Homo-oligomer: A and B are copies of this chain.
Amino acid sequence: MNESWDEIGQLFKNARSIVILSHVRPDGDAYGSSLGLAWTLRALGKEVLVCNEDGMARSYRFLPGSEEVVSTPKTAPQGCDIVIAVDTSTQERLGPTFALWNRKVDINLDHHASNTCYGTWNLIDPLAPASALVCYKLLQALGWTCPKEAASCFYVGLLTDTNAFRFCPLSPDVFRMAAELVEQGADPLSLSEGAYRNYSIGQFHLLREILAQTVFAWENRVAYYRLTPALLKQTGAENTEVENFLTYLQKVSTVQVAFMLEELEPNLTRVSLRSRAPIDVCQIAQRFGGGGHPRASGIRARIPMAEMEKLLLEEIRQVLQ
């Protein structure tokens, strides 16, 4: 954290046009932080463009302002004064299209401990359970008003990144900030319905199939499934929310590590790993060139899916308690 509130406040004061970016395969916190910040800055009279490599996913269209999210344009918007990145640990994760801008990120707001501080200003709080709270603290520090729509967006970022206030350490302050967001107009009922009751029928069919095909290993301490393009096609689901299905495998009390293997190409495999404390799947991911959080990490490697499955099972066996 190298912030100096006065200088950052001045930076915003002088800016007229602002672009907000977030990571590829965006989640509730990427969208929630981006849009919450956009509502706040627009209320201050700024012109704001929210972009993402993957545009706006169907499942988060309930967020206020989501209709204005655009796919990252191939060139930087004319007259853009500040580029802000939210919830994104490396510049690369902003996507290949932003790379074409050949532009440095001015303000980098994040809660990932692995953030590489690629911005001119880096506001990184690894103790915050969501980037939405890093944004909200920025508002408070600069004395900005939080519009109702911004409170709703930040609430969704907090809600989804904490798995509905579960499976992560939460301080009393986190709940107090949730209380403030509700006070400022976030509606926990409708926002949670939007975030958690949003499956298409195709996704439900995919879930059924995935659970039916789930494999247990090492005395039920590991559970995993394989995702192939054929399975996606068969069920008619999009592949954007698939990794959340790991939470179903983690419900089993004996499961310490859950993972999914996704066959992107015959020789290219993506892996999502989740674990129960104290098992650190980030260390496992790093052995294959991946990374992330200790309890949630990912890999993308030029290894065929079946081989990756064997290698991973062996790596995991060695760290099981």
Contact = CB atoms under 8 A, between A and B. Distances in A.
Contacts of A201: 216, 220, 252, 254
Nearest to A250: B197
Given A175-B175, A175-B179, A211-B208, A253 B170 contact: no
Given A198-B251, A251-B204, A182 B170 contact: yes
A214 to B, nearest CB: 8
Interface in A171-217: 171-176, 178-180, 182-183, 188-189, 192-193, 196-201, 203-204, 207-208, 211-212, 214, 216
Contacts of A167: 189, 192-193, 196-197
A159 interface: yes
12 contacts: A163-B164, A165-B192, A166-B192, A167-B197, A169-B188, A170-B189, A172-B179, A172-B182, A193-B276, A196-B251, A199-B252, A208-B212
Contacts of A193: 166-167, 276-277
A165 B165 contact: yes
A207 B208 CA distance: 9
A54 B103 CA distance: 65
Q: What is the oligomeric copy number?
A: 2
Interface of A: 159, 163-176, 178-180, 182-183, 188-189, 192-193, 196-201, 203-204, 207-208, 211-212, 214, 216, 220, 248, 250-255, 276-277
Given A166-B164, A182-B171, A201-B220, A189 B250 contact: no
Contacts of A175: 175-176, 178-179, 182
A189 B276 contact: no
A99 B154 CA distance: 50
Nearest to A195: B166
B188 A170 contact: yes
Q: Which 9 A-B pairs have the closest CB atoms?
A: A166-B192, A175-B179, A164-B164, A172-B179, A170-B188, A175-B178, A199-B251, A172-B183, A208-B211
Contact of A189 (B159, B168, B248, B251): B168
Given A165-B192, A168-B188, A169-B189, 9 more contacts: A165-B165, A172-B182, A174-B179, A175-B178, A176-B176, A197-B250, A198-B253, A204-B252, A211-B211
A166 B179 contact: no
A179 B173 contact: yes
Nearest to A208: B211
A198 to B, nearest CB: 5
A12 to B, nearest CB: 28
Nearest to A212: B208
Nearest to A180: B172
A72 B289 CA distance: 57
Contacts of A199: 251-253
A183 B171 CA distance: 8
Contacts of A211: 204, 207-208, 211
B252 A189 contact: no
